[in-house]
């Protein structure tokens, strides 16, 4: 599932591709992917330029000149592609938004969605989300205090969107590896030094993953060489059996809080 680095990479790259371009047409092949009838979706978007693209947690927000917005959550298996009809990948497209000869294809939205929202609707939708990892008010001390109050495992805390917004299965494991802490640890068991190390790892790793384009396996547009660049840099996620880059021991796959998890059980503690 795309997480903060993937969605932030999309946000940054899409700005140069569709920003301030009016929507010329739309096409919906799966009505469940949107929250209004297709004809209304078309009327709401046609002629409207996208004036800004924001991100909140794992969502992208396409702000329209009308004041309304499109909220995208790709969920599991969803991707975006931007290109001409000739460039379109050989994948099933649930929603297409046209910007002249350029199209924005929403692919794999079997669980994901692209919803029209008002400003008030956005506020209600995101009310339950926790702070962003780079929120200036989320200091190391505030992070440690929030963490100490959590039950369950470190893995379950990091992927809980009401605790910290934007982290999922992949980066929770990568963050724990970077901090040399097992994802199965109880949050309250962390020492102040470990909590501070985890906080630093969270910020540095997410920034690095974003800078390298996240781990998505499909380019965003023809000639895109950034998207997916972090996949080869992952050190534990989906690396079962490979030698740990720190100590050489094999990476282990297990289940933590009912989620698959990868770790080095030798140098993570």
Q: pLDDT per residue over 151-184, tens digit each?
A: 999 999 999 999 999 999 999 999 999 999 999 9
Cβ contacts of 195 within 8 Å, gap of 6 or more: 140, 143, 144, 147, 148
Q: Summarize the confidence of residues 200-206 as an average pLDDT.
A: 98
Tokens of 21: 């371009």
Q: How confident is the model at residue 54 (pLDDT cuts 50, 70, 90)?
A: very high
Q: Round to whole Å and give the CA distance between 58 and 106.
A: 15
Does the structure show a pLDDT above 90 at 253?
yes
Given a contact cutoff of 8 angstroms between Cβ atoms, the answer to whether 112 and 72 are in contact is yes
Q: Does 1 have pLDDT greater than 90?
A: no
Cα separation, 253 vs 39, in Å, equals 47
| 79 confidence band (pLDDT: 50, 70, 90) | very high
């Amino acid at each position: 599932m795309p997480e903060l680095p993937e969605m932030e990479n999309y946000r940054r790259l899409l700005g140069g591709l569709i920003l301030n371009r009016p929507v010329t047409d739309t096409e919906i092949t799966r009505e469940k992917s949107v929250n209004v009838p297709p004809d209304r979706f078309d009327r709401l978007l046609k002629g409207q330029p996208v004036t800004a693209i924001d991100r909140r947690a794992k969502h992208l927000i396409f702000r329209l000149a009308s004041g309304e917005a499109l909220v995208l959550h790709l969920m599991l298996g969803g991707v975006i592609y931007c290109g001409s009809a000739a460039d379109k990948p050989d994948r099933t497209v649930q929603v297409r938004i046209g910007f002249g000869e350029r199209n924005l294809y929403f692919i794999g939205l079997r669980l994901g969605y692209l919803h029209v929202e008002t400003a008030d609707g956005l506020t209600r939708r995101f009310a339950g989300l926790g702070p962003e990892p780079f929120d200036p008010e989320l200091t190391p001390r505030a992070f440690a205090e929030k963490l100490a109050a959590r039950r369950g495992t470190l893995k379950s805390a990091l992927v809980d969107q009401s605790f910290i917004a934007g982290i999922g299965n992949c980066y929770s494991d990568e963050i724990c590896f970077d901090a040399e802490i097992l994802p199965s640890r109880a949050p309250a068991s962390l020492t102040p030094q470990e909590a501070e190390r985890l906080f630093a790892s969270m910020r540095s790793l997410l920034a690095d993953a974003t800078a390298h384009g996240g781990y998505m396996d499909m380019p965003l547009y023809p000639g895109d060489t950034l998207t997916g660049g972090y996949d080869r840099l992952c050190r534990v996620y989906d690396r079962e059996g490979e030698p740990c880059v720190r100590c050489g021991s094999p990476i282990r796959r297990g289940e933590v809080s009912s989620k698959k998890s990868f770790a080095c059980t030798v140098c993570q503690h």
